[in-house]
Amino acid sequence: MTPALVFDCDGVLADTERDGHLPAFNETFEHFGLPVHWSEDDYASVLRIGGGKERLTSLLTPDFVTRAGLPSDPEAQRAAVTDWHAEKTRRYTARVRAGDLPGRPGIARIVHEAHDAGWLLAVASTSAESSVRAVLEHVVGQDAAAWFAVFAGDVVPRKKPAPDVYELAVRELGVSPTDVVVVEDSANGLRAAVGAGLTTVVTISSYTADEDFTGAALVVDSLGDLPDTPDRVLQDPHHVEPTGQVTLDTLTELLRLTGGRP
């Protein structure tokens, strides 16, 4: 069967959290006059929650609702969260389109390698689809972005670490789980991909370096781009030993070693 390469978005295509999502959240709080401002440490804790709407919903404690002057009706609160999330997405997307968030090393390179070799390409993310597509076009270019299927936002009811979005991607791509390599950056993302039975490479990002990546087929600091930004291998349980950059040959070997393609 045709192999597929599926990327998470935030932290994988670009290191978006600190310089993209966090300031967009805080600008949104200020815009709506909400009594909250997330520090980098606050946001590190918030990131354990999958999905932007879900992170905003976590604010709705009784004390916060009172201080913010929000309605007590759950339906009205959901509508408010929807408005906040739309504003946050608009602000975040503007940052991406302004070129403030450079792509991570090796992404554009391996996307072209995979496409040229006939692999299917996809992104599976808890972020809003418009945000994902903006990052994707910025990192790989508009033409290459058209090669991708995108599974994002509320396309599944349960978000990572639940495996739902990856199970959906496998079904919609029409591939076997044994023919899929996922690139993730977080423990939640890894749990989601492994829960769907997928071989997973982790490229740590600014907020995830200290997380537990047990179950990953390979952990590196980036996919690498020689000669300027070689990768650093952190965990290599299958001894594929990428030398400076993770290549399509590396991913093919991981599939073979983890029970995927021969």
The enclosing H or E element of 220 equals: strand 218-220
Residue 6 phi, psi dihedral angles, 5° rounding? -120, 125
Report the side by side order of strands in the sheet with 199-203.
148-151, 120-124, 4-7, 180-184, 199-203, 218-220, 233-235
CA distance 37 to 23: 9
Chain mean position to CA 98: 20
100 is catalytic: no
Torsion of CA 112, 103, 148, 152, to 10 degrees: 160
Residue 159 phi, psi dihedral angles, 5° rounding? -100, 170
Active-site residue (options: 8, 164, 221, 231) = 8
CA distance 260 to 79: 44
Active-site residue (options: 10, 15, 164, 225) = 10
CA distance 106 to 84: 34
Q: Are strands 199-203 and 120-124 parallel, antiparallel or unpaired?
A: unpaired
Are 190 and 221 in contact by the 8 Å Cβ rule? The answer is no
231 is catalytic: no
Residues assigned a catalytic role: 8, 10
